[in-house]
Structure 1
């Protein structure tokens, strides 16, 4: 896994994530197979900007939530950066569309159709 270089001054504290060419389909599908992680991805897909980890109302302990975010980041689904004491999250929609065209739209659309969102 390679570390990301700065994308802008606002993301100077970006956490390591795979380069687009290194995102593997099986890692993405494994990450999306968990209902909590799928819910996080669907929430980020509808967010107009980065979202703080603490903004998600999920039925898991904080340590478990940290694990879920790490799995999503290491699979290449999200980008995380630290801003002060906050960890901000954004979906890597453009990167995923470049690597696996249509996959993210299909997964999020399917989730929303079945979850009533």
Structure 2
């Protein structure tokens, strides 16, 4: 298992998290991860309506903002939400965003 580069919890910036979550495709990915806890990148990208390279860009943006944790197992990249880290830095933010996304769905 190889962990890709991620910001440390204390380095996660609110502006970067909000920027990452402001895109509808990235918000959909985060919503799916909230339900499924962990997904491969290919599963998370199913039915998003974007090319694989565009999906990869969205995954990287979420990872670099500190929203998701991505680890590599063989050829698979597996993502999960950094819920504990985000709740520690910005209590209630993720729940509020997910709740608002659910209402607007």
Q: TM-score, normalised by structure 2?
A: 0.95
Alignment of 1:67-106 (within 5 A): 67-106=57-96
Note the C-alpha offset of 1:46: 1.0
User: Structure 2: where are the runs of 5+ without partners?
Assistant: none
Q: Distance in 1 between matches of 2:35 and 2:10?
A: 25
Q: Does 1:109 align with 2:99?
A: yes
The match for 1:13 is 2
User: Structure 1: where are the runs of 5+ without partners?
Assistant: 1-11
**Equivalent pairs, count:** 103
Q: Deviations over 1:1-57 (max 9, x none)?
A: xxxxxxxxxxx3010000010000000000001000000011101114x20011132
Aligned with 1:24 (options 4, 8, 13): 13
Aligned residue for 1:60, secondary structure, equals: coil
The match for 1:55 is 43
- Structure having the higher helix fraction is 2
Q: Distance in 1 between matches of 2:62 and 2:103?
A: 22
Superposition misfits of 4+ residues, deviation over 6 angstroms: none
Cα-Cα RMSD? 0.7
Q: TM-score, normalised by structure 1?
A: 0.86
The match for 1:45 is 34
